[in-house]
Structure 1
Amino acid sequence: MKLAGSIVALITPMDNSGAIDFVALGKLVEHHISSGTHAIVSVGTTGESSTLSPNEHLEVIDATVKLVAGRVPVIAGTGANSTHEAIYLTRQADELGADAALLVVPYYNKPTQEGLYQHFKLIAESVPLPQILYNVPGRTVADLHNDTVARLAEIDNIVGCKDATGDLRRGKELLDLVGDKISILSGDDPTALEYMQLGAKGDISVTANVAPKAMADMCAAALEGDFETAERIDKTLRGLHNDLFVESNPIPVKYAVAKLGFGANFLRLPLTAVSEEQRPRIDDAMARAGVL
């Protein structure tokens, strides 16, 4: 499995009652594959993993794997702040046919670096599925340090790290430490191109939900070393990179994807729909990206 390019952190479409809209999910999957998206993350943060029940979580992964039907890799979000829960979800994702798992740093309980190392090590030892570490300290509070990633990179089925810190200096250090052992992927759209210029292999992207072809083309150009083309494309996406975060993700992107006709603009509490005052900013960013 190649971990590279534009990897969409896919929303979970819902109808106006809050039920998962599997018809819209099917249309979204086809839209991404026809647009050139290189891989799909199912039920990550952007997929509202925190408000889905465990059964729903697995139903969405199962449906996504079946809809994709092997055409691109499916990466299942299976992280949790309980190691045993993360093992359970990762094992289930493996049985459902996911190509890899994305494991967020445990949130709220604030483990030490040794606790983080033991957490990810035990998951990797318990489930043979290829696994991608996911560091997003702005959400989890706990921060997976680069030297801990280096320890974990020695484990065979830990194959990547999604770095959503947005800190390019730190990212360069991470690439120097483990870039020859595992795939380093940006998890921060505004700095993704710069990170790829440093050597990151791609971007697990929120923006790709709204502009999948442009993100796929940008990442492909960057991977080929054609940074002039990549920068030209990225310039059209900068509004989305920024304005899809005017309120907490996935609030703005859910609005934008619904506006494109994929499901309703519905989020489960405690998330609420994007405020009326922010909608013109998102509309304008979509227009500048050429998707409206």
Structure 2
Amino acid sequence: MFSGSIPALVTPFSDGAIDETAFRRLVEWQIEQGSSALVPCGTTGEAPTITSEEQHRLFELCVEQAAGRVPVIAGCGSNDTQTAKWHMQVAKDLGCQAALMVAPYYNRPSQAGLLAHFSYLAENVDLPMVLYNVPGRTVTDIAPETTIELARRFPERIVGIKDASGDMTRLTTHRMALGSTFAQICGNDDMALQYNAGGGTGCISVTANVAPKLCADFQAASLAGDMAKAHELNERLFPLHQALFTDASPAPIKYAMARVLGWIGEEVRLPLVPCSAASRLAVDAGLVAAGLI
């Protein structure tokens, strides 16, 4: 259902408020550059520090600007099931095509709790879900058997997973149980080459915020089996992929966008702060390697 290069969009701020003009411009630029879908309000969009009203406004802006040209996968996850349900219903009503649903964080539910949480959402909101497994942030890991059980119970609702676990064996486990129609989307830019080779369908990307065409071209080559071109583009992007996590994300990607684009600033919301001098040097080197500056 979803494939290719899918940016996890940053949320531009200006003097503490969302810069709606810059956000619309970002959506338009991403579509022009070949991104295949858009994710507002994910981790890179600073979802933990925006209000629910701002979150819903970003859904609305993204849908309006995309105007049906690419799918919008709205970041709707929460550690509270009822809040997640609310976000999903709003996303559906606004015209989003799917919801990105992170594993509930902080309260550390069991696998039985995860099954109950995602099953409740699937039963109560008519919107496809892409599970988001990022145990490095949430502590809770969506185990392969849980993913498989959910996708089998709700094949029209649980349509894919963004996997940032780093465990490549899950690709084959999921594929053997669920086939190729279940979208397996990489959550780590620097693993996307290997992930696609194992049966992945694309990447929900941080790097694509600043290098959308390169990321789209890489995904197209990789998914088409043009491995020479895929390796070439991956190696061109690899230093940047790694540099963007030399400080707390999304501060490095916002610095990169300020350097390359100029119309998105570095502003992040507390408790995040602009990236360090050492991170800036690493990002600069990554941008040079990618040919972006």
Q: TM-score scaled by structure 1?
A: 0.97
Q: Which amino acid aligns with 2:291?
A: G
The alpha-carbon deviation at position 250 of structure 1 amounts to 1.1
Q: Which amino acid aligns with 1:94?
A: K
Q: Does 1:217 align with 2:217?
A: yes
Contact persistence 1:117–1:152 (CA under 8 A):
yes
Q: Partners in 1 of 2:44 and 2:249 — Cα distance? A: 6
Q: Partners in 2 of 1:200 and 1:134 — Cα distance? A: 14
Match of 1:205 in 2: 205
Contact persistence 1:150–1:177 (CA under 8 A):
yes
Structural mapping, 1:158-197, within 5 Å:
158-197=158-197
Match of 1:157 in 2: 157
Contact persistence 1:78–1:86 (CA under 8 A):
yes
The alpha-carbon deviation at position 181 of structure 1 amounts to 4.5
Contact persistence 2:248–2:275 (CA under 8 A):
no
Q: Partners in 2 of 1:264 and 1:18 — Cα distance? A: 12
Q: Per the alignment, in what secondary structure is the counterpart of residue 41 of structure 1?
A: coil
Match of 1:248 in 2: 248
Contact persistence 1:13–1:262 (CA under 8 A):
no
Contact persistence 1:8–1:39 (CA under 8 A):
yes
Deviates more, 1:81-90 or 1:274-283: 274-283
Q: Partners in 1 of 2:119 and 2:51 — Cα distance? A: 26
Q: Does 1:103 align with 2:119?
A: no
Match of 1:30 in 2: 28
Q: Does 1:78 align with 2:76?
A: yes
Deviates more, 1:27-36 or 1:133-142: 27-36
Q: Partners in 1 of 2:200 and 2:179 — Cα distance? A: 8
Deviates more, 1:162-171 or 1:214-223: 162-171
Contact persistence 1:133–1:161 (CA under 8 A):
yes
Match of 2:289 in 1: 288
Contact persistence 2:171–2:199 (CA under 8 A):
no
Match of 1:115 in 2: 113
Q: Partners in 2 of 1:135 and 1:268 — Cα distance? A: 24
Q: Partners in 1 of 2:185 and 2:111 — Cα distance? A: 21
> What is the percent sequence identity of the aligned residues?
46
Q: Partners in 1 of 2:292 and 2:173 — Cα distance? A: 36
Q: Which runs of 5+ in 2 are unaligned?
A: none
Q: Partners in 1 of 2:240 and 2:73 — Cα distance? A: 23
Match of 1:277 in 2: 278
Q: Does 1:8 align with 2:7?
A: yes
CA deviations on 1:208-264 (whole Å, 9 max, x unpaired) are 111100100010111111111111111100011101000121121111112222322
Match of 1:136 in 2: 134
CA deviations on 1:95-151 (whole Å, 9 max, x unpaired) are 011011000000000000000011011111111111100000000000000000000
Q: Partners in 2 of 1:237 and 1:175 — Cα distance? A: 28
Q: Which runs of 5+ in 1 are unaligned?
A: none
CA deviations on 1:68-114 (whole Å, 9 max, x unpaired) are 11111111000000000000000000001101100000000000000
Q: Partners in 2 of 1:257 and 1:57 — Cα distance? A: 21
Q: Partners in 2 of 1:182 and 1:122 — Cα distance? A: 20
The alpha-carbon deviation at position 178 of structure 1 amounts to 2.5
The alpha-carbon deviation at position 59 of structure 1 amounts to 0.4
Contact persistence 2:136–2:165 (CA under 8 A):
yes
Match of 2:267 in 1: 266
Q: Which amino acid aligns with 1:194?
A: Q
Q: Per the alignment, in what secondary structure is the counterpart of residue 24 of structure 2?
A: helix
Q: Partners in 2 of 1:147 and 1:3 — Cα distance? A: 22
Contact persistence 1:175–1:200 (CA under 8 A):
no
Contact persistence 2:63–2:72 (CA under 8 A):
yes
Q: Per the alignment, in what secondary structure is the counterpart of residue 77 of structure 2?
A: coil
Aligned alpha-carbon RMSD (Å): 1.0
Q: Partners in 2 of 1:72 and 1:129 — Cα distance? A: 16
Deviates more, 1:24-33 or 1:257-266: 257-266
Match of 1:124 in 2: 122
Aligned pair count reads 290
Match of 2:231 in 1: 231
Q: Partners in 2 of 1:84 and 1:77 — Cα distance? A: 15
